[in-house]
Amino acid sequence: MSDFWFEFVEITQTVGDGLLFGATYALIGIGFTLIFGAMGKLNMTYAGASLAGAYAGLAAFTFVNAPALVVFLVSALASGFIGFVVYVACFRFIPVNNHLAALMASIGALFFIDEIVIHATDGSPLTFPAMFEYVMFDLGPYGIRGDLLFVFVVCVVSTAGLVYVLYRSRLGLATRAVSQQDVAARLCGIDVHRTNAITFVLAGLLGGIAGSMTAAAVGVLSPLVTIPLTVKGLIVTVIGGLGSIPGAIVAGLLVGGLENVFLYFRGVNERDMYVLLLLFVFLVFRPHGISGTAIDRD
């Protein structure tokens, strides 16, 4: 009985950690889904740009010894800026209906950004600052890592901020108007190119937070993270339902939690394999994702 109890605590602990870390996946998923919602296109650069933002934050840490909070802020701003550059380079001037060209351009930009990072860091992992990493909250038999809790809280706050902007501010309403009725929005005086650019910047800010939070939770930043984070972001986006923000939130937490379940039972080598299988389970049995149909699009 005590063996069972011990195991139960272990599993729930690991799932809880996964849920906390899953918030970063949710944030990345939201970024993908936000851009898809606005333009109907996938921005493959997104996770890479988010990590590049985190690298910019890391530069602030390395060269001027900035405190962790400033590092996170710089990451977000840098990633927002990269988001704008990616929009201009890969989306702004490509004809609206040419989805494949935009997709290829963004994949190219992903590798380009990755190469820049590899070149700048010689491809070696670098330590990333965290906050509250020595804090541990005891909750009965469970322990909650301070740094993970911080990551979770930051992600929740940024998501809440984004939802506020999208659903309560005129800026967000304008971007949603464009995603719902492109032509009508233009004829209501909304500059579609500008709102799209703003969407990319917003998504970029979010991505920079997600990137730096991922790095803070893991403790290191490495170019090797780019592809797994891109893949997980896409998985979250698909499972959540393309274009659905609530879906991305649920899917991010789901992937984070399940990932640790797989980790617990099958070990680190097999973990990502099962996460990918999850993607195919959804694509076959529920291709529209959790939310059924992508909301906010018609």
Helix, coil or strand: residue 135: coil
- Alpha carbon 115 to chain centroid, angstroms: 20
Minimum CB–partner distance for residue 187 and other proteins (Å): 5
Given a contact cutoff of 8 angstroms between Cβ atoms, the answer to whether 72 and 212 are in contact is: yes
Among 1, 64, 183, 268, binds other proteins (CB under 8 A): 183
In the set 148, 192, 215, 254, which binds other proteins (CB under 8 A)?
Answer: 192
Among the listed ranges 13-21, 129-137, 171-179, 220-228, the one in contact with other proteins (CB under 8 A) is: 171-179
What's CA 259's distance to the chain center, in Å? 16
Residue 284, C-beta contacts closer than 8 angstroms, at least 6 positions apart: none
191 or 270: CB nearest other proteins: 191
Q: Which stretch binds other proteins (CB under 8 A): 52-60, 144-152, 167-175, 246-254?
A: 167-175
Whose tokens are 């304008």? That residue is: 174
Main-chain dihedrals φ then ψ at residue 137, nearest 5 degrees: -95, 135
> For tokens 């944030």, what's the residue?
27
**CB neighbour list of residue 220: distance below 8 Å, 6 or more residues apart:** 125, 126, 127, 128
Residue 187 near other proteins by CB under 8 A: yes
Amino acid (1-letter code) at residue 62? T
Distances from the Cα of 127 to the Cα of 181, 222, 274, angstroms: 46, 9, 28
By CB under 8 A, residue 139 contacts other proteins:
no
Q: Does 191 bind other proteins (CB under 8 A)?
A: yes
Nearer of residues 106 and 159 to other proteins, judged by Cβ: 159
The neighbour count for residue 254, using CB atoms within 10 Å, is 21
Q: Is 163 in the site for other proteins (CB under 8 A)?
A: no
Nearer to other proteins, 183 or 268 (CB): 183
Contact call for residue 96 and other proteins (CB under 8 A): no
Interface pick for other proteins out of 1, 122, 170, 285 (rule CB under 8 A): 170
Among 41, 176, 232, 271, binds other proteins (CB under 8 A): 176
Piece of 64-72, 123-131, 180-188, 225-233 that binds other proteins (CB under 8 A)? 180-188
Q: Quick count: other Cβ atoms within 10 Å of Cβ 119?
A: 10
User: Which one of residues 69, 160, 184, 273 is an interface residue with other proteins (CB under 8 A)?
Assistant: 184
The CB-of-122 to other proteins minimum distance in angstroms stands at: 41
Residues 249, 240 contacting (CB under 8 angstroms): yes
Find the shortest distance in angstroms from Cβ 182 to other proteins: 9
In angstroms, the CA 15 to CA 24 distance is 15
Interface residues toward other proteins, by CB under 8 A = 165, 169-171, 173-174, 176-177, 180-181, 183-192, 295-296, 298
